[in-house]
Amino acid sequence: MNPKTPALLLAATLVLAGTTQAAEFKKPTPDVLPSIQLDRSLLFPSKADIAEGKVLATEQCIDCHSATGIEDDPEMPHLAGQHVLYLYSELQAYKKKLRQNEDMSKSVQFLSDDAMRKVSAYYSGQIRGVPAATTASSEPAAAVSDPVELGKKASASCGGCHGPDGNSKMPGMPNLTSQPLEYFAIAMRHYKSGGRPGMMSGFAAPIDDQTVKNLSLYFGLQPPKGTSNVGKGDVEAGRTAAGACSTCHGEDGNVVGPELPTLAGQDATYLAAAINAYAKGPRDHAQMKAATESLSADDINNLASFYAQQEPIPRKIHKPATVADWIERCNRCHGEDGNSADPRMPSLAGQNRAYLERVLTLYSEGKRNNSMMSAMAGPLNEAERAALAAHYAAQTPRSILYVELPCEPTPAK
């Protein structure tokens, strides 16, 4: 091959210096990517290599990937304009069964290393456009925005009883601030399943798990204001009685564990009603029944007044990443707008949306393995995966031209 005719012949928008990059190339993750050193013959194929690659593609790949590497089937990846090193490494991964796909294992099983290089060079040199179908169906990533904002939106129907910020002003209504996220979810599940019958069952029934999470985040991040409805119990007698409760609910009703409710600063009427509901039904909970069934009416009022007067401590809650935060992280490896400048990192810009969503799900379920991507995709939920896929599918792909600089201290091979 002739290094003076670099053959990734597309419009140059980014120029990488082969020599300076070479020093930075570390081995790709050993788990899936075959260990490809910076291989200059891959980055700079000759015209003859590409022509041979085209013949191969026409014979063996076009039924599924088309001759241009642009696929109308949204579940399929575009190959056009993808980094040659990435395409080649994935072909190797299929051949070695490190990446599982039946169609692809069959397609590569008899391909020689040389053939893989050439067919990769051919598809890499094709121009990736944005197919109309992809752009038309893409929603902006902002459609799934900050989970806290989504929680705030969903809380509109709760504010009438629980207060717009989860600090209730209506006697008998519980505050929702300073509850552990996990407890909030448990309580909502009780209402949904009928374990806590009453009017909340109707409100909780249509709310899905993700929305429950968003709601718990929103309320959990609001500063707790305690309650002015402290009842008429004897606070000191309540403090003494609360000794029996402290292992689970904390000395002052501020819980430490995730699955227990905070009692500090909670409405006294609500506390008394809840204790009664465990002691006599309908709340069904063995530990709480055991803790409350022998309490007298006075005991219950004293406990309620004691806890109502304690100061609730705001929960330490980490705000989860928004889709915009995720995009910024993904771009660190996949390039600005998903146009990767690192030849080992696949470009995502203009890729088929359904394909992106599908592979993100594969990574998050551990069905496609790569240590970097599993770590990234693991925490994403379905809505976030869909938003990220839509975002990258809608980005305009740019082509990258590798140019060799004259000064080369050591050949990279």
Residue list 92-121, contact with ligand HEC (CB under 6 A): 99, 101, 103-104, 107, 111, 119
- Bond into 30 cis (ω within 30): no
Please identify which residue in 181, 348, 386, 390 interacts with ligand HEC, judged by CB under 6 A. 348
Query: Closest CB to ligand HEC among 5 and 246?
Result: 246
161 binds ligand HEC (CB under 6 A): yes
157 binds ligand HEC (CB under 6 A): yes
125 binds ligand HEC (CB under 6 A): no
Please identify which residue in 7, 8, 87, 387 interacts with ligand HEC, judged by CB under 6 A. 87
Of the listed pieces 7-15, 18-26, 168-176, 227-235, which binds ligand HEC according to CB under 6 A?
168-176
Q: CA angle at residue 177 from 211 to 231, to 5 degrees?
A: 135
Q: Shortest distance, CB of residue 61 to ligand HEC, whole angstroms?
A: 3
368 near 359, Cβ under 8 Å?
Answer: yes
186 binds ligand HEC (CB under 6 A): yes
1 binds ligand HEC (CB under 6 A): no
Pick from 413, 393, 402, 405: nearest CA to 10? 402
Q: Which two tokens stand for residue 184?
A: 């909030």
**Separation in Å, CA 46 to CA 52, 79, 122, 164, 339:** 10, 19, 10, 66, 24
166 binds ligand HEC (CB under 6 A): no
187 binds ligand HEC (CB under 6 A): yes
50 binds ligand HEC (CB under 6 A): no
Of the listed pieces 3-11, 41-49, 370-378, 396-404, which binds ligand HEC according to CB under 6 A?
370-378
Rg (CA), the chain: 30
Residue 226 has a CB neighbour count (10 Å cut-off) of: 19
Q: CA angle at residue 351 from 350 to 353, to 5 degrees?
A: 105
218 binds ligand HEC (CB under 6 A): no
Please identify which residue in 47, 153, 285, 289 interacts with ligand HEC, judged by CB under 6 A. 285
State how far the Cα of 363 lies from the Cα of 370, in Å rounded to an integer: 8
Query: Closest CB to ligand HEC among 3 and 237?
Result: 237
State how far the Cα of 198 lies from the Cα of 187, in Å rounded to an integer: 13
State how far the Cα of 347 lies from the Cα of 335, in Å rounded to an integer: 7
The burial class, CB within 10 Å (0-12 / 13-18 / 19+), for 197 is middle
Binders of ligand HEC among residues 219 to 248 (CB under 6 A) are 244-245, 247-248
370 binds ligand HEC (CB under 6 A): yes
Q: Shortest distance, CB of residue 5 to ligand HEC, whole angstroms?
A: 23
Query: Closest CB to ligand HEC among 150 and 373?
Result: 373
Question: For ligand HEC, what does the binding mask look like between residues 52 and 81, x meaning CB under 6 A?
Answer: --------xx-xxx----------xx-x--
State how far the Cα of 285 lies from the Cα of 135, in Å rounded to an integer: 52
215 binds ligand HEC (CB under 6 A): yes
